[in-house]
Amino acid sequence: MNSNSKLWGGRFSASTDSIMEAFSSSVDFDRRLFSVDIDGSIAHARMLTATHILTEEECTAIIVGLTAIREEIISGDFIWSAAHEDVHMNIEAALTERVGEAGKKLHTARSRNDQVATDIRLYLRETLDGIEDRLNHLLGAIIDLAEREADTLMPGFTHMQVAQPVTFGHHLLAWFEMLIRDRERFLDCRRRLNISPLGSAALAGTSFPIDRKMTATELGFDGITENSLDAVSDRDFAIEFGSAGALLMIHLSRISEELVLWSTDRFGFIDLSDAFCTGSSIMPQKKNPDVVELIRGKSGRVVGNLNTLLVLMKGQPLAYNRDNQEDKEPLFDTADTLNASLDVMGAMVPEISVNREQMREAASQGFATATDLADYLVRKGVPFRDAHEMVGQAVRFCIDEGLDLAELSLSHFHAFSSVIEEDVYGVLTLEGSVAAKDHVGGTAPKQVRSAIERARTRLQ
């Protein structure tokens, strides 16, 4: 291709070096923006017509042409060319080939700089809506499971050591809280990114009498950007998306880790459905939780993508710089990874089968009700520090004797404290322990049930 065949070839006398062409072309990845790019161009053409910059005939030719191109791309017949650099110029060149002069006029009062900023915002808005749907589905599945397991007893852990009994429903609602905050972050991100940069042109705005509000409304934006230099250059909205995505993946990795642990023979708390596990090529007995391990692993690339986007932006002077072309691949990869991970998690959670006996058994080991005994002593007038010490001694005694706290006789107890009476056995049971945590945010089944009610409302 000689210099003049480039859409921007006018001021060039030598043709593009082929190494340079391959290096700078983004069409292999940014072609994913084709549909939002065409939406943006149609809105722009309509606005140029309403403001008498284009004629009705030109506008119709452009819309018909772009619509045909969209279909050609969807059907796979469109021929992409690296020589046309990116998605924007591929489509514009194809349009001009189809409709002639009118195609050449489409780029009036516009630059690829505001065009690409518009495309990414539209693409991310669509992506965010899909993520919200998937998150809602997963959150609903978690609530359903929590409702089923509101009374199920399990050990709560700190430092991965048995700490105090909790209900499984309560544990699941902790996941709910993590993920509903992620949903809020995405919604907040959507609010800031759904603003139209179109009309900023290359960096300074345009000398044509454009109607920016019209294109914004056509494209479903909530408003227009205030400053053209900022609008074509900053990608902070993409970084916010990457950041909310990274946090979501970190949460999913924590959930995955628990599912991996719980499904081991040693824990035996849950069974993951065969549909989400794989076998070993050498060990016939194995059923491995590869899918959740993959989610845990994929959090790495999403965190990496956030880092890429941040460093990409660092030190960029106003206004547009070509560096920003590098935002696409990390963004697409984050979007794909979030979608796939949420799809898998959302399908897997409802299929989890719970081994209640095994969970209960684990909760009854490790002196999980020791704190309840200390609280009991406090209610009998013993200062908490002294109670802590007495219970510590009782636990020591139990370890030496191979007994559980609930197996101690009253006379055993009296060796540690004289205030202990028959009613102590009530607080040493797992049921008594969880039922006593009876306040908002506590693990009592009654509280878990009302938290589930509130969660359902918040999900709406």
125 binds ligand ARG (CB under 6 A): no
CA 447, 452, 455, 460 torsion-angle sign: negative
Specify the residue, 85 or 372, whose C-beta has the smaller distance to ligand ARG: 85
Of 75-83, 108-116, 122-130, 414-422, the segment contacting ligand ARG by CB under 6 A is: 108-116
Specify the residue, 174 or 310, whose C-beta has the smaller distance to ligand ARG: 310
The closest alpha carbon to 123, from 226, 238, 14, 200, belongs to: 238
Specify the residue, 6 or 134, whose C-beta has the smaller distance to ligand ARG: 6
113 binds ligand ARG (CB under 6 A): yes
Binding residue (CB under 6 A) for ligand ARG from 46, 112, 134, 235: 112
228 binds ligand ARG (CB under 6 A): no
The answer to whether residues 305 and 98 touch, using CB atoms and an 8 Å cutoff, is no
Pairing of β 161-167 and β 353-354? unpaired
200 binds ligand ARG (CB under 6 A): no
324 binds ligand ARG (CB under 6 A): yes
105 binds ligand ARG (CB under 6 A): no
Stretch 4-43: interaction string toward ligand ARG, x if CB under 6 A: ----------------------x---x-------------
Specify the residue, 322 or 439, whose C-beta has the smaller distance to ligand ARG: 322
325 binds ligand ARG (CB under 6 A): yes
Of 60-68, 318-326, 355-363, 364-372, the segment contacting ligand ARG by CB under 6 A is: 318-326
Q: How far is the CB of 442 from ligand ARG (least distance, A)?
A: 51
State how far the Cα of 455 lies from the Cα of 183, in Å rounded to an integer: 13
The closest alpha carbon to 7, from 76, 110, 78, 119, belongs to: 110
CA 168, 174, 177, 179 torsion-angle sign: negative
State how far the Cα of 433 lies from the Cα of 273, in Å rounded to an integer: 32
Specify the residue, 90 or 194, whose C-beta has the smaller distance to ligand ARG: 90
Specify the residue, 147 or 329, whose C-beta has the smaller distance to ligand ARG: 329
State how far the Cα of 448 lies from the Cα of 438, in Å rounded to an integer: 9
Binding residue (CB under 6 A) for ligand ARG from 37, 39, 86, 333: 86
Structure tokens at 460: 């709406």
Q: How far is the CB of 106 from ligand ARG (least distance, A)?
A: 16
Q: How far is the CB of 273 from ligand ARG (least distance, A)?
A: 42
The closest alpha carbon to 47, from 216, 240, 275, 221, belongs to: 216
SS (H, E, C) 31-85: HHHHHHHHHHHHHHHHHHHHCCCCCHHHHHHHHHHHHHHHHHHHHCCCCCCHHHC
The answer to whether residues 186 and 106 touch, using CB atoms and an 8 Å cutoff, is no
Q: Quick check: is 88 catalytic?
A: no
Catalytic residue among 5, 18, 273, 280: 280
Q: How far is the CB of 113 from ligand ARG (least distance, A)?
A: 5
Q: How many CB atoms lie within 10 A of CB 22?
A: 11
Find the helix packing angle between 87-99 and 34-50, rounded to 10°.
Answer: 60
Catalytic residue among 13, 52, 75, 159: 159
Q: Where are the alpha helices (DSSP H) in 164-227?
A: 168-193, 212-218
Contacts of residue 381, Cβ cutoff 8 Å, sequence gap at least 6: 419
Q: Quick check: is 13 catalytic?
A: no
Binding residue (CB under 6 A) for ligand ARG from 48, 63, 116, 162: 116
Beta-bridged to residue 89, according to DSSP, are none
Stretch 37-76: interaction string toward ligand ARG, x if CB under 6 A: ----------------------------------------
Q: How far is the CB of 194 from ligand ARG (least distance, A)?
A: 20
* Range 129-188, binding ligand ARG (CB under 6 A): none
The closest alpha carbon to 39, from 71, 3, 63, 75, belongs to: 63
Which spans of this chain sit near ligand ARG (rule: CB under 6 A)? 26, 30, 86, 112-113, 116, 322, 324-325
Residues known to be catalytic: 159, 280
